[in-house]
């Protein structure tokens, strides 16, 4: 059974929040609240290194906004997770792979990829 990685961004899915997030990322990237998005995406698209890693991985990747994830997994709402966060799901079991405290110090998409490779091996 193929494992699934859920990448949950620290933002909401509505159009207004998406617009404000993109604007914030461009105007003041150092204060942007989603370290995961900053690692995997540039201002307008997915980073090439990340896309290549994702497409060549043996894992299934699912990307969600915080509100979408909490609606889908409402049983986890009381866990007080910090976002962004990465979960690993196999069958019905879902576990934290990396929390926001582990994601925050990463400085590049290459560091994220290496971090994931170590954790997934």
Backbone angles phi, psi at 32, to 5 degrees: -65, 135
Q: Is the dihedral of CA 76, 79, 85, 86 positive or negative?
A: negative
3-state DSSP assignment of residue 90:
strand
Q: Give residue 81's pLDDT.
A: 80
Q: Give residue 114's pLDDT.
A: 94
pLDDT by 10s per residue, the chain, length 121: 678 999 998 877 667 666 566 555 556 555 555 567 778 877 777 889 999 999 999 899 999 988 889 888 877 766 778 888 999 998 888 889 988 899 889 889 999 999 999 887 6
Q: Give residue 27's pLDDT.
A: 63
C-alpha 21/C-alpha 25 separation (Å) is 6
């Amino acid at each position: 059974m193929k494992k699934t990685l859920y990448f949950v961004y620290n933002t909401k899915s509505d159009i207004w929040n998406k617009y404000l997030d993109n604007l914030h990322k461009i105007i003041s990237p150092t204060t942007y609240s989603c370290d995961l998005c900053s690692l995997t995406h540039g201002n307008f698209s997915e980073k090439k290194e990340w896309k290549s890693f994702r497409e060549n991985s043996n894992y299934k990747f699912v990307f969600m906004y915080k509100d979408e994830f909490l609606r889908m997994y409402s049983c986890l709402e009381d866990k007080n997770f910090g976002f962004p966060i990465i979960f690993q799901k196999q069958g019905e079991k879902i576990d934290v792979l990396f929390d926001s405290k582990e994601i925050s110090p990463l400085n590049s998409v290459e560091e994220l990829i290496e971090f994931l490779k170590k954790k997934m091996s």
